[in-house]
Structure 1
């Protein structure tokens, strides 16, 4: 990542990106307004049967789409998730899942990303879509 992207990501998380991604082990590998890539371990993010929890996939998807939306919104603006959907195609039981968020629409007031999550073998685990409302950051 270049210095501008790194600075924007730091600002995004300083504005309340939250600790959930850290707790789930999410790591951002690449970030730009058009595409965000991240990975998350399956271990520690499973449901009682040892399968990747569907909610964990949604957290990964929303994290990646929110980072992209915040970068698209730019300095002095914020991105607020307003809708997310997810289709779970197959389970993952070990290793990591990789999420790739690709911008589908980037306007002044709305950004939408498609997030494809795959397992270590490249098989699609989940397809998600996130829309974020973009607005001016609160004063102060």
Structure 2
């Protein structure tokens, strides 16, 4: 797929600044790589992201998927005129994970005028699939900027 980002110099440092004061900061979700048609982020599997059985919590995987997909959508729009918000997420939890780090990779399936759809794959350190997610994002006009 062709270069999809609205901003020509999209960098992980600028994306990581967006985390301040958000759940992504608390969960230590960190943007790690920007490609021409994908975005990657990592998240630790620790006491903040595990469920009572000691496994990666499905909600933490969903939060990682929604974070990376929403930020990817925000990078594809004109932020002066538009905003984007998640409207639907689906997660299939494939493999349990007790510790370490997971990496999410978001790739676009659809970039429309009013919706974006993202395929998000969450993998472990050996690139084994932990979770697969699909996120739909609504693209809305900024109030007063329609």
More helix by share: 1
Unaligned ranges ≥5, structure 1: none
State the aligned residue count. 136
Q: 1:109 to 1:78 in 2, by over 3 A?
A: same
* 1:86 maps to 2:86: no
Post-superposition offset of 1:30: 2.1
Which of 26, 41, 46 is equivalent to 2:44? 41
Post-superposition offset of 1:139: 4.0
Q: 1:3 to 1:22 in 2, by over 3 A?
A: farther
State the TM-score, normalizing by the size of structure 2: 0.83
Q: Deviations over 1:44-96 (max 9, x none)?
A: 21001110000000000000000111111223211111110000001011110
Secondary structure at the aligned position of 2:76 is classed as helix
Q: 1:135 to 1:36 in 2, by over 3 A?
A: same
Post-superposition offset of 1:9: 3.8
Superposed CA RMSD: 2.6
Post-superposition offset of 1:138: 2.6
Give distance in 1, aligned partners of 2:93 and 2:138: 25
Give every structure 1 segment of 4 or more consecutive aligned residues whose post-TM-superposition deviation is greater than 6 Å: none
* 1:59 maps to 2:60: no
Give distance in 2, aligned partners of 1:68 and 1:59: 14
Query: What residue in structure 2 maps to residue 50 of structure 1?
Result: 54
Give distance in 1, aligned partners of 2:85 and 2:21: 13
State the TM-score, normalizing by the size of structure 1: 0.86
Q: 1:79 to 1:34 in 2, by over 3 A?
A: farther
Give distance in 1, aligned partners of 2:101 and 2:16: 24
Give distance in 1, aligned partners of 2:69 and 2:141: 18
Unaligned ranges ≥5, structure 2: 1-6
Secondary structure at the aligned position of 1:121 is classed as coil
Any conservation in 1 of the 2:101–2:125 contact (CA below 8 Å)?
yes
